[in-house]
Amino acid sequence: MRLFIALVPPAEILEDLKNVQAEMAGGQTRPSASAQAGWDRQTGTLLVRRSPWKASGPEQLHLTLQFLGDDINLHRKEEIRKKLQEVGPRHVPFEIKPAGMGAFPSPARASVVWAGVQGAGLEGLAQDLASALSSLGIRRDKPFSPHITLLRSKIPQSAQEMMKPMAGRAWSEKNWVAGEFVLFESHAALGGREHIQVQKYPLGGDGEK
């Protein structure tokens, strides 16, 4: 099974993220010619395909702290669940502030468009999780870069026009307080993936929420 650890924004922040998705869709241009067009060999008609961008659903709008792996068995899952109980009490709730927009690997050739966030406690929590999990032989697969994924494309595309409405400003004026992190289990589902909350770990708490 696939497991990851994330922070879940509150409902009012999720609403702002959905509004940003809609605003970017309004500034969206057609894909590059190589990605948008194809020929029907029987009729000789040029076919224009749908946009390659897929918006993250509400259940996918989370801030991943660490990806743990794709092939985790039940015994390993239980080890992870217990280890994470040690982390929450070492931290206190902290404020998260929306930041600017970005794209991976770059806006000119993007596969992912994301909403950035900032928070004094984010890096410390992520580092503590990485350290705790390293004792189980689990290593970070990439450097921590706090963000919430808004759109994905299987075909790299320019996202520059689409991101223009959000240029030079934060995607929301609302801050929120992170009071817990969540261990998620993820399964393949029709049209994407289904994320199931395994356990919530309160910051400053006992991890038994």
Catalytic residues: 62, 147
Please give the Cα distance from 164 to 148 (Å, whole number).
18
Tokens at 34, concatenated:
């190589």
The CA distance from 62 to 172, in Å, is 15
**Both tokens assigned to 176:** 């929120």
Q: Residue 20 and residue 42: Cα distance in Å, rounded?
A: 41
Helix (H, G, I), strand (E, B) or coil at 58: helix
Give dist(CA 95, CA 127) in Å, integer: 17
